[in-house]
């Protein structure tokens, strides 16, 4: 088990996603893999690598409108690398609490900020991040968050939340994952530490 990554000099999110896929495919080939599954939240990567690239190759790397394909050099590398590997792309939800996807985002963010993240190399059993492509559900969830007069509370049931917010100028939301919970708190300009009993 090995995390890989690195900065790109300058580029878009799409270029970073394509570069990450290239690095994975190169790593797989270098390590004599015959098949690889890439989990990604990028439909641009999935649609391009599994469909568009074949049409572009036939059209001399031109789009249907006759324009040159954007990121053509990266797409050519992906096309070439797929010829010797069985590659499967799986879509995961972005920013939805999928542990390995969240870890990939953290690594990418660190590299974008010119930081040097500590990349894991070791056994899969020692890796502290779930490799299952499901979201991190809140234990005993869902839960309900309410914010009344700037005070945030977490409730185990809708009835409990409703009792607090009825007749109040309040914000409230049902959340099922840790990521959703964080997004609501961010929207309210609050943190987990702001939740009171």
**Please, what are the domains in the chain?**
13-126 (3.30.420.10), 143-196 (no CATH)
Mean pLDDT of 25-37: 95
Q: Find where tokens 């096309």 sit.
A: 79
Q: Which of 3, 1, 2 is nearest to 110 (CA)?
A: 3
Query: Is the pLDDT assigned to residue 85 strictly greater than 80?
Result: yes
**pLDDT-derived band of residue 150, with 50, 70 and 90 as boundaries?**
very high
Mean pLDDT, the chain, integer: 89
pLDDT for residue 118? 94
| Chain mean position to CA 154 | 26
**pLDDT-derived band of residue 66, with 50, 70 and 90 as boundaries?**
very high
Q: Which of 81, 69, 70, 14 is nearest to 46 (CA)?
A: 14
Q: Do strands 170-175 and 195-196 pair parallel, antiparallel, or not at all (unpaired)?
A: unpaired
Tokens (6 digits) for 72: 């053509």
Q: What is the DSSP letter of 31?
A: T
Residue percentage of the chain with pLDDT more than 70: 95
More confident residue, 87 or 96: 87
* Rounded Cα distance, 116 and 52, in Å: 34
Q: Which of 26, 35, 71 is nearest to 52 (CA)?
A: 71
* CB contact at 8 A, 182 and 160: no
pLDDT for residue 182? 84
pLDDT for residue 97? 73
Segment 89-107, tens digit of pLDDT: 998 877 777 888 889 989 9
Name the helix (H) or strand (E) containing 153.
strand 151-155
């Amino acid at each position: 088990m090995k995390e890989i990554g690195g900065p790109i000099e300058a580029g878009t999110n799409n270029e970073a996603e394509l570069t990450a896929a290239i690095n994975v495919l190169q790593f797989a080939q270098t390590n004599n893999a015959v098949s690889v599954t890439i989990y990604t939240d990028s439909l641009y990567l999935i649609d391009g690598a599994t469909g568009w690239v074949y049409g572009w190759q036939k059209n001399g790397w031109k789009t249907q409108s006759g324009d040159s394909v954007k990121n053509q050099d990266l797409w050519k590398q992906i096309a070439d690398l797929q010829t010797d590997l069985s590659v499967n792309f799986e879509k995961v939800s972005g920013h939805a609490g999928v542990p390995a996807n969240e870890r990939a985002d953290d690594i990418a963010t660190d590299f974008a900020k010119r930081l040097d993240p500590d990349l894991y190399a070791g056994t899969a059993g020692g890796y502290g991040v779930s490799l299952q492509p499901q979201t991190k559900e809140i234990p005993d969830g869902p839960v309900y968050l309410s914010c009344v007069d700037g005070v945030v509370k977490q409730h185990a049931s809708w009835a409990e939340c409703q009792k607090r917010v009825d007749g109040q100028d309040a914000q409230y939301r049902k959340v099922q994952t840790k990521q959703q919970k964080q997004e609501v708190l961010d929207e309210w300009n609050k943190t987990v530490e702001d939740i009171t009993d």
